[in-house]
Chains A and B, each alone.
Chain A
Amino acid sequence: MTTVNLKAASVPVRETRLGSITGFTGTAEELVGQARKGCLKEKNRSFSQCLGCSTSNAACTLILIQDAAVISHGPVGCAGCLHEYAFTYRVNGVHRNVFEPTERRIFSTNMDERDTVYGGVQKLEDAIHEVHRRVHPKAIFVITTCASGIIGDDVETTANEAEDELGIPVVAVFCEGFRSKIWTSGFDAGYHGIARKLIKKAEKKQEDLINIVNFWGADFIGGWFKRLGLRANYLTPFATVEQIAASSEAVATMQVCATLGSYLGASLEQEFGVPEIKVSPPYGIVQTQRWFRELGRLTNRAEAVEVFLREEEEKWLPEIETLREKLKGKTAYVTAGASHGHSLLALLRELGMKPQGAAIFHHDPLYDNGEVAADTLQNVVNDYGDIKHYNVCNKQEFELVNVLNRLRPDILLARHGGMTLWGAKFGIPSLLIGDEHFGMGYQGLVQYGKRILDTMENDEFVKNFEKHAVNPYTKWWLEQDAYTFLEK
């Protein structure tokens, strides 16, 4: 199976490319079984709340590139939340050796009603030139929106013409919100643009360079790699255009989250000959061992990896044991994006906790590399057994509220903003960890375990908050089955 076609201007959304879905209720094993049999079927909801948008996820892969500029081609509102990435860049730069963070240059073509009638291409062309004049970036990305998509602006031709004139990559990134209910399709759109216009064919290989497709977490991996004689090439936040161009010179690509990096990993392998590590990322001991051994195999460092694992075990196992004793039998509920959510389930099981269930935003039956071994949910089920109440729910808060009210877990783990609030409103200790690297490896297990303990121990705030919290949900709704509005 190949899903990568860099000759096409846009990448198909996950629903059509991978057969991904956003509605399922059952157990994890059932879901994996259906995916293997190829009979996964999307279910719609007759009530839904605000989802997310591909355009902001595409932006998330692009805005944090050090020396590029981003233009949102649409009404000004479609760039409204992008200032959040400017803040991230400033705050997290220090974790990635960007000590003097430059301002993020984020533009909107500010499409108005006249443009929706006569087209916005001229405005876009002017904008690209003006941005080039103001910023002198090494690359310009144009992200599309519902409005520019529906009226059919030829963004690709405009970008290509500007590229010829300006002599830098001008990349059209097609990420209209209405095209997909799976907003992670926006990651794919961003990476598609990067793969087709930024990454160059490798002239030489750098034998110690490993691509890491990630968000903006702290650099734990760099330290581990050092001990193995490897270097981390983080993609794409905080990278330079040049560094991204040279990612084809790496010897392997890993993802911290296959939901994020699926498409870029596959593109690098299929189009640039960089093999991808096709097992789940290193969360939990079983997976950490599997992952590092695969890394060792790909980089001819099998022995060094065994030494590394032994050292890590000696250092961290005693603490892990202590944590396991303290956390034994505690219940948890997880809400997160797909692959990282699976990783969190693995972490909970490693720590001896009982995941009561999960609300995971979508499900990809397979990732772009097509490998069954890369299915992060299947690996969790194989390693630790089934997860009951495994639901696929694209951030439908009303379903989460209903479930939490019923289950009352000892802790709610969330990966995305806006969800912990609902745990707290029911007095449930709730934890969001923004740094996706935080739980990796043996060290990550200890770090996560401590934070979970700490969150459950210090529940005074949520207990008080519960007494005063406002809840707009009806009593009727809280008594229904959580999946009442999901197609049968």
Chain B
Amino acid sequence: MSGLIEQQRFMCSIGAMQSVVAIPRALPILHSGPGCGTMVAGFFERSTGYSGGYTAPCTNFSETEVIFGGVQKLENLIRHSYKVLDSDLQVVLTGCTASIVGDDVGQVVRQFVDEGKPIVYADTPGFKYTNYEAHSVIVNAIIDQYTDRFNEERKLKASLEPRDAKLVNLFASIPYQDPFWKGNLSEYKRLIEGIGLKVQILFGPHAQGVAEWQNIPQANFNVLISPWYGQDIVKHLEEKYDQPYFQFPYIPIGGNETTRFLRELALYANEHGAELDSGAVESFIKKEEETFYEEIDNLATFLLEFRYGLPGYVHILHDASYVLGMAKFLLHETGIVPKELFITDKTPEEYQQNILDISAGISDKKKIPLYFQPDAGLAQATILAANHEGRGLIIGSGWDKDVARKKNCDFLSASLPSPYRLVMTTGYAGYRGGLRLIEDIYNQALSTYR
């Protein structure tokens, strides 16, 4: 196996600088080659945040540093970064060059830590991880080197505050790699607070900046919404702070799965002493479901009777969380039947069986083929060779627009890179996300009639 990848839908480790960019007033500092920052900005498009993209300080590793090391240059860079840019947290990320030549970045960063600066570093050479994995590396680095300092201080205080039984930390959408991360996080926040918990979402405009990161250990437990990425974070927190975690293994979209998510979460929370009012939880869910199904009810005539043609089946090319979540939603709540599905996030082998088990339960009646295929060129070849009756839909990245055209399918751009679509605060998670996904799919289909 050559390992070749055509039409990549993810980045290398340093792409996870976007996780830093997503923390309010955090500053990524790159100890890397000159192109890494712009390469990342180019992959994610329109997403430089407070200080990403060209704004990020970078040592711009050159031949001199390859030979003599770049530690001194990094020290200067960090020192001057404080003068030029305002930030609440700095995260130093290393690229391939710095890692190969073996610069001791930790030693440089420790100097600034000793001066009391809120700075951490993470080893993120491109050849080591994908950005899906590196997201956990960065989050854990912040926990170990930043959050933990506050926890130690807290322990030293005489009046140690107990943990808040109703407070949880949420780890779900990977910022920017999930184009709907902002919308999804805000819907999760709404839902989780709706059943009576409090939640720190850590990233994006609805998070409380570094204060939430300092407060991570005060949560009763962690919530992970993902089949695999992010597991290293919640496991790390379990080990470090003895914080248990609740995992929901795919993005809950629409009525069925969002209700399932909330009920399971409420049950878990109460098993861990949150003392949620079960009646209030159920009445929240009931209200939400009513709102959701009122729309489905209104739409049903259209879905059942539109006589000029609507998509009847779908291929999804996305990360594991979306492929599972969308397939369940589309089959059960809109009647679009999933056909060959492709997980393009380079899922590590150890997690694949569990995902296959979940996918086997998407339908009780039929088996839906699911492939782990980071090489999207091959995924497309499979789609091109497949033959299904009726009108098809492809949900994928901008790369898939051509395949959709060739197959005469409707096309919804929902994964990166996505140059044909603009996403700001749209989310696909939860009850509201489900309705939005329906709008997007059928608007695409209807826009073909003119």
Output the nearest chain B residue to A108 by Cβ-Cβ distance. B5
Expressed in whole angstroms, the Cα–Cα distance for A77 and B63 within the complex equals 20
Q: How far, in Å, is B23 (CB) from chain A's closest CB?
A: 13
Contact with A along B89-100 (1 / 0, CB 8 A): 000000111001
Evaluate contact between B62 and A178: CB separation under 8 angstroms: yes
Expressed in whole angstroms, the Cα–Cα distance for A244 and B234 within the complex equals 55
Partner of A46, one of B40, B76, B97, B128: B76
Cβ–Cβ < 8 Å partners of A115 in chain B: 127
Evaluate contact between B33 and A178: CB separation under 8 angstroms: yes
Evaluate contact between B86 and A178: CB separation under 8 angstroms: no
Q: Does A34 reach chain B (CB closer than 8 Å)? A: no
Partner of B77, one of A48, A53, A472, A477: A48
Q: Does B35 reach chain A (CB closer than 8 Å)? A: yes
Output the nearest chain B residue to A105 by Cβ-Cβ distance. B6
Cβ–Cβ < 8 Å partners of B30 in chain A: 50
Cβ–Cβ < 8 Å partners of B41 in chain A: 50, 81, 418
Evaluate contact between A76 and B62: CB separation under 8 angstroms: no
Evaluate contact between B398 and A87: CB separation under 8 angstroms: yes
Expressed in whole angstroms, the Cα–Cα distance for A54 and B66 within the complex equals 16
Contact with B along A107-124 (1 / 0, CB 8 A): 111111101100000010
Q: Does B54 reach chain A (CB closer than 8 Å)? A: yes
Expressed in whole angstroms, the Cα–Cα distance for A178 and B59 within the complex equals 11
Contact with A along B34-72 (1 / 0, CB 8 A): 111111111101001011011111111111011000000
User: What's the tally of chain B residues with a CB closer than 8 Å to chain A?
Assistant: 71
Expressed in whole angstroms, the Cα–Cα distance for A183 and B33 within the complex equals 11
Cβ–Cβ < 8 Å partners of B377 in chain A: 105, 107, 134
Evaluate contact between A485 and B65: CB separation under 8 angstroms: no
- The interface-forming segment of A125-133, A219-227, A436-444 is A125-133
Evaluate contact between A77 and B12: CB separation under 8 angstroms: yes
Partner of B417, one of A83, A108, A123: A83
Q: Does B13 reach chain A (CB closer than 8 Å)? A: yes
Partner of B42, one of A80, A176, A179: A80
Q: Does B84 reach chain A (CB closer than 8 Å)? A: yes
Cβ–Cβ < 8 Å partners of A109 in chain B: 2-4
Q: Does A150 reach chain B (CB closer than 8 Å)? A: yes
Evaluate contact between B43 and A50: CB separation under 8 angstroms: no
Cβ–Cβ < 8 Å partners of A279 in chain B: none
Cβ–Cβ < 8 Å partners of A46 in chain B: 76-77, 80
Expressed in whole angstroms, the Cα–Cα distance for A392 and B85 within the complex equals 22
Evaluate contact between B81 and A47: CB separation under 8 angstroms: yes
Cβ–Cβ < 8 Å partners of A107 in chain B: 4-6, 377
Cβ < 8 Å to A, chain B residues 1-33: 2-8, 10-15, 25, 27, 30, 33
Q: How far, in Å, is A16 (CB) from chain B's closest CB?
A: 10
Q: How far, in Å, is A456 (CB) from chain B's closest CB?
A: 25
Expressed in whole angstroms, the Cα–Cα distance for A369 and B50 within the complex equals 43
Cβ–Cβ < 8 Å partners of A472 in chain B: 25, 27, 50-51, 55, 85-87
Evaluate contact between B15 and A150: CB separation under 8 angstroms: no
> Chain A interface residue count: which class?
35 or more
Cβ–Cβ < 8 Å partners of B128 in chain A: 112-113
Cβ–Cβ < 8 Å partners of A108 in chain B: 4-6, 8
Expressed in whole angstroms, the Cα–Cα distance for A180 and B66 within the complex equals 12
Evaluate contact between B40 and A80: CB separation under 8 angstroms: yes
Q: How far, in Å, is B118 (CB) from chain A's closest CB?
A: 15
Cβ–Cβ < 8 Å partners of A473 in chain B: 84-86
Q: Does B228 reach chain A (CB closer than 8 Å)? A: no
Q: Does B126 reach chain A (CB closer than 8 Å)? A: yes
Expressed in whole angstroms, the Cα–Cα distance for A76 and B43 within the complex equals 11
Expressed in whole angstroms, the Cα–Cα distance for A82 and B54 within the complex equals 17
Evaluate contact between A178 and B63: CB separation under 8 angstroms: yes
Contact with A along B331-342 (1 / 0, CB 8 A): 000000000000
Q: How far, in Å, is A85 (CB) from chain B's closest CB?
A: 10
Cβ–Cβ < 8 Å partners of B356 in chain A: none
Q: Does B369 reach chain A (CB closer than 8 Å)? A: no
Q: Does A349 reach chain B (CB closer than 8 Å)? A: no
Contact with A along B420-437 (1 / 0, CB 8 A): 000000000000000000
Expressed in whole angstroms, the Cα–Cα distance for A81 and B80 within the complex equals 29
Output the nearest chain A residue to B30 by Cβ-Cβ distance. A50
Expressed in whole angstroms, the Cα–Cα distance for A131 and B2 within the complex equals 11
With A50-B30, A50-B58, A150-B66 as contacts: A76 and B12 at CB distance below 8 Å: yes
Evaluate contact between B42 and A81: CB separation under 8 angstroms: yes
Q: Does B419 reach chain A (CB closer than 8 Å)? A: yes
Output the nearest chain B residue to A150 by Cβ-Cβ distance. B100
Q: Does A151 reach chain B (CB closer than 8 Å)? A: yes
Partner of A126, one of B2, B39, B95: B2
Evaluate contact between A147 and B96: CB separation under 8 angstroms: yes
Expressed in whole angstroms, the Cα–Cα distance for A91 and B417 within the complex equals 16
Partner of B38, one of A51, A105, A178: A51
Output the nearest chain B residue to A421 by Cβ-Cβ distance. B48
With A50-B58, A147-B126 as contacts: A178 and B84 at CB distance below 8 Å: no
Cβ < 8 Å to B, chain A residues 80-116: 80-84, 86-87, 103, 105-113, 115-116
Contact with B along A196-221 (1 / 0, CB 8 A): 00000000000000000000000000
With A178-B61, A472-B51, A485-B80 as contacts: A76 and B6 at CB distance below 8 Å: no
Q: Does B242 reach chain A (CB closer than 8 Å)? A: no
Evaluate contact between B80 and A127: CB separation under 8 angstroms: no
Q: How far, in Å, is A110 (CB) from chain B's closest CB?
A: 5
Evaluate contact between A48 and B4: CB separation under 8 angstroms: no
Expressed in whole angstroms, the Cα–Cα distance for A91 and B339 within the complex equals 31
Q: Does A14 reach chain B (CB closer than 8 Å)? A: no
Contact with A along B346-378 (1 / 0, CB 8 A): 000000000000000000000000000000010
Q: Does A474 reach chain B (CB closer than 8 Å)? A: yes
Expressed in whole angstroms, the Cα–Cα distance for A23 and B111 within the complex equals 30
Q: Does A79 reach chain B (CB closer than 8 Å)? A: yes
Q: How far, in Å, is A360 (CB) from chain B's closest CB?
A: 16
Cβ–Cβ < 8 Å partners of A52 in chain B: 34-35, 38
Q: Does B83 reach chain A (CB closer than 8 Å)? A: yes
Expressed in whole angstroms, the Cα–Cα distance for A77 and B125 within the complex equals 10
Expressed in whole angstroms, the Cα–Cα distance for A216 and B94 within the complex equals 34
Cβ–Cβ < 8 Å partners of B59 in chain A: 48
Q: How far, in Å, is A74 (CB) from chain B's closest CB?
A: 7
Cβ–Cβ < 8 Å partners of B181 in chain A: none
Question: Of residues A54, A113, A472, which shows the largest number of chain B Cβ atoms within 10 Å of its Cβ?
Answer: A472
Evaluate contact between B77 and A83: CB separation under 8 angstroms: no
Partner of A78, one of B12, B53, B57: B12
Cβ < 8 Å to B, chain A residues 50-73: 50-56
Partner of A181, one of B2, B5, B60, B80: B60
With A395-B54, A472-B86 as contacts: A75 and B96 at CB distance below 8 Å: yes
Question: Of residues A49, A53, A112, A123, which shows the largest number of chain B Cβ atoms within 10 Å of its Cβ?
Answer: A49
Q: Does A237 reach chain B (CB closer than 8 Å)? A: no
Partner of B4, one of A116, A127, A179: A127
Q: Does B113 reach chain A (CB closer than 8 Å)? A: no
Partner of B96, one of A48, A110, A146, A477: A146
Q: Does B402 reach chain A (CB closer than 8 Å)? A: yes
Expressed in whole angstroms, the Cα–Cα distance for A398 and B50 within the complex equals 14
Q: Does A397 reach chain B (CB closer than 8 Å)? A: yes
Expressed in whole angstroms, the Cα–Cα distance for A485 and B53 within the complex equals 20
Expressed in whole angstroms, the Cα–Cα distance for A56 and B25 within the complex equals 29
Q: How far, in Å, is B398 (CB) from chain A's closest CB?
A: 7
Cβ–Cβ < 8 Å partners of B267 in chain A: none
With A52-B34, A473-B85, A485-B80 as contacts: A112 and B127 at CB distance below 8 Å: yes
Give me 9 A-to-B residue pairs in the complex whose CB atoms sit less than 8 angstroms apart, sorted by A's number.
A77-B43, A87-B419, A103-B402, A116-B100, A177-B61, A178-B62, A179-B63, A181-B34, A474-B84
4 new A-B contacts, CB < 8 A, other than A74-B126, A134-B381, are A83-B398, A84-B45, A110-B3, A418-B53
Q: Which 5 A-B pairs have the closest CB atoms?
A: A53-B35, A81-B42, A77-B12, A50-B37, A75-B126
Residues of A within 8 A of B (CB): 46-56, 74-84, 86-87, 103, 105-113, 115-116, 123, 126-127, 130-131, 134, 145-147, 150-151, 176-181, 183, 395, 397-398, 418, 470, 472-474, 476-477, 485
